[in-house]
Amino acid sequence: MKKKIVIALGGNALGNNLEEQMGAVKSTARAIVDLIEEGHDVVISHGNGPQVGMINLAMDALTKSNYKYSSIPMSVCVAMSQGYVGYDLQNALREELLNRNIDKSVATIVTQVEVDKDDKAFSNPTKPIGSFMTKDEAESLIAKGENVVEDSGRGYRRVVASPRPKSIIEIDTIRSLVDSGQVVIACGGGGIPVVKEGNHLKGASAVIDKDFASATLAKELDADFLIILTAVEKAAINYGKENEKWLDDVTVEEMTKYVEEGHFAPGSMKPKVEAGIEFASSKEGRYALITLLEKAKDGILGKTGTRIK
Ligand code: ADP
Ligand code: MG
């Protein structure tokens, strides 16, 4: 049966650098077009860790080497990463669709995601980004009001907040495209974080977790499935231990208990499981699936992956 599916692509689907990304998007496009060929409507979101790191480094180098350029806000770096990843993905998807004689257009939406200016994350920035700095460089940034921390003995790094997404600004545009049968890439890198100031949207110095942004996107589009594609076929309890157990079908209640018991690592599996719980518990009949890219098709059929319902 035809489903509306939001697919969140993890680091594996995109590679770690320019060359890897060009190769990775080809197999990613094949897996996504497999689902389109089955008749499903798909909306794609993706992470941007390596890409935004690279852009941030390049921008830092520019401002350091040329006084004419002032520093580039994080929100702008996220916007650039959406364009860069979106371009490669939409190009690869278009080609794969044409190869299979499927008549569908593909577009990337530069997506802004509203965050709460009072989100507690802003008073406790935790996500290290960009290049390492010396103590002197760190002190001059701190004097400018930036948050900088010492990162595990390797030097100093800027840290930004990772607030929760509230709403997706371009949701009506995304919905119209999906409803007319087009393939949409949206909310890249968790979306460009913005804070509402009347009619103005102000870019925030933050990075939204792509797993949470994808859950918000799936809820706002009234999707049937949220598929989080990552580096493992399933989530596990007692991960890496002797009594490790890979999870298949799990209820929201069971999964919530496993989160509380600390089975999932913060910053990697935990946000995926929490995003899955958030989506699956939001309405009857919604499923979240965590699995590998090449297992997405089997996962929807209930053959593999961790399914939260
Ligand atoms: P992505 O780039 O897809 O967001 P991450 O590397 O952030 O991927 O997260 C996936 C990783 O989470 C897995 O490769 C695995 O090493 C790790 N992980 C941590 N805890 C668990 C767990 N309980 N079950 C499965 N994987 C886990
Ligand atoms: Mg990750």
The overall average pLDDT reported for the chain is 94
Where along the chain do its domains lie? 4-115+166-308, 125-160
- Find the ligand nearest to 13 CA: 1
Is 135 annotated as catalytic? no
Which of the following is catalytic: 189, 190, 272, 305? Answer: 272
- 190 in contact with ligand 1, CB cutoff 6 A: no
Instruction: Say how many Å lie between the CA of residue 170 and the centre of ligand 2.
Output: 24
Residue 219 is given by DSSP the state H
pLDDT band (50, 70, 90) for residue 157: confident
Q: Flag whether pLDDT at 207 surpasses 80.
A: yes
Residue located nearest, by CA, to atom 9 of ligand 1: 268
Which of the following is catalytic: 4, 12, 196, 297? Answer: 12
- Find the ligand nearest to 12 CA: 1
Is 272 annotated as catalytic? yes
3 state DSSP class of 274: helix
Q: Flag whether pLDDT at 158 surpasses 90.
A: no
Instruction: State residue 200's pLDDT score.
Output: 98
Residue located nearest, by CA, to atom 25 of ligand 1: 235
Task: Please identify, by atom number, the ligand 1 atom nearest to the C-alpha of residue 228.
Answer: 3
Instruction: State residue 15's pLDDT score.
Output: 86
Topology annotation, domain 4-115+166-308: Carbamate kinase (3.40.1160)
Instruction: Say how many Å lie between the CA of residue 49 and the centre of ligand 1.
Output: 14
Calculate ∠ Cα 80-85-86, nearest 5°: 95
Give every CB contact of residue 180 below 8 A, 6+ residues apart in sequence: none
Q: Both tokens of residue 224?
A: 């049937």
Is 64 annotated as catalytic? no
pLDDT band (50, 70, 90) for residue 132: confident
- 13 in contact with ligand 1, CB cutoff 6 A: no
Q: Which of 268, 272, 274 to mutate to test the pocket of ligand 1 (most atoms within 8 A of CB)?
A: 268
Which of the following is catalytic: 10, 15, 127, 234? Answer: 127
- 236 in contact with ligand 1, CB cutoff 6 A: yes
pLDDT band (50, 70, 90) for residue 160: confident
- 246 in contact with ligand 1, CB cutoff 6 A: no
Please state which of the ranges 62-66, 110-114, 305-309 shows the lowest mean pLDDT.
62-66
Residue 4 is given by DSSP the state E
Instruction: State residue 133's pLDDT score.
Output: 85
- 263 in contact with ligand 1, CB cutoff 6 A: yes
Q: Read off the pTM.
A: 0.93
Is 10 annotated as catalytic? no
- Find the ligand nearest to 247 CA: 1
Specify the amino acid at residue 2.
K
pLDDT band (50, 70, 90) for residue 60: confident
Closest CA to 14 of 271, 245, 229, 226: 229
pLDDT digits (tens, 9 = 90+) for 211-224: 999 999 999 999 99
pLDDT band (50, 70, 90) for residue 168: very high
pLDDT, mean of residues 282-302? 95
Instruction: Say how many Å lie between the CA of residue 288 and the centre of ligand 1.
Output: 16
Instruction: State residue 12's pLDDT score.
Output: 81
Strand runs labelled E in 17-73:
41-46
Residue 11 is given by DSSP the state G
pLDDT digits (tens, 9 = 90+) for 61-88: 898 899 898 888 999 999 999 999 999 9
Q: Dihedral angle at the C-alpha atoms of 27, 33, 38, 43, nearest 10 degrees? A: 120
Q: Flag whether pLDDT at 180 surpasses 90.
A: yes
CA 41 to chain centroid, in Å, comes to 19
